[in-house]
Structure 1
């Protein structure tokens, strides 16, 4: 706190809603901070790793609103890319000074459950022994393919049926 032209200058105070946020590549996410600050405070976002947040890019959008003496700022990021993960800082700056809060945006690696694909091949062979007897042989071959396991199970079954006409 400082005294300036008979006014008391108040240092803004800012905090992150969450200091760690996870996102998935290709999806959207948002980062939020709230500040208790005097009326002349400006809020803005920066990357800590010196990568700029492009105001020209339609993927990044900053939004602010005031609720009493509480200022809220949100950084929306659309279509997350690998380069978007890292450290972000929301800054509050006024004549009384400045403060910042840091948020880490990490990639969420979602695990996929292995999928099973079943393929059934059937072949039928007709054999006429004479005019009154037919042999019908059906062979079924079933393959179970499991992703992420690279195992293939093959089941074979032969069915022979003799028909008398």
Structure 2
């Protein structure tokens, strides 16, 4: 369940908000000498201003590849290449686009909740099997099921908190 929370944090960080955030580019891969490499492994990514991301490849010969990869990722950016670095101006989000991003966020959050519930179901089945085989008593089984439910509630509440914080960040103007 903790891994689901970590994945949720990473996934939510890649959802665009009105501010420049280098994590937006985490899913971008670049063709680097015949193999696909994550952008952050072939370039330095920074956000020197609230509305700008600067990508500085360590190898200047792949500047064009990096630019194509950013365009292909369809993030809504128009990269500008000055021969040394690529600048991405983060456009202001429209109200409609903000609502779409919130819908995507909520859909993603629900998938994470389902994953946590699936883990709960598997753990409950395991405990019931142990009780059926006589490895644990009925009281131990009940306590185990209660503990699993408490953990599930805790992690679902954490997902809800992460979702609410990200939604607030997206809807900020």
Q: Which is helix-richer, 1 or 2?
A: 2
TM-score by length of 2: 0.25
Q: Which is strand-richer, 1 or 2?
A: 1
TM-score by length of 1: 0.26
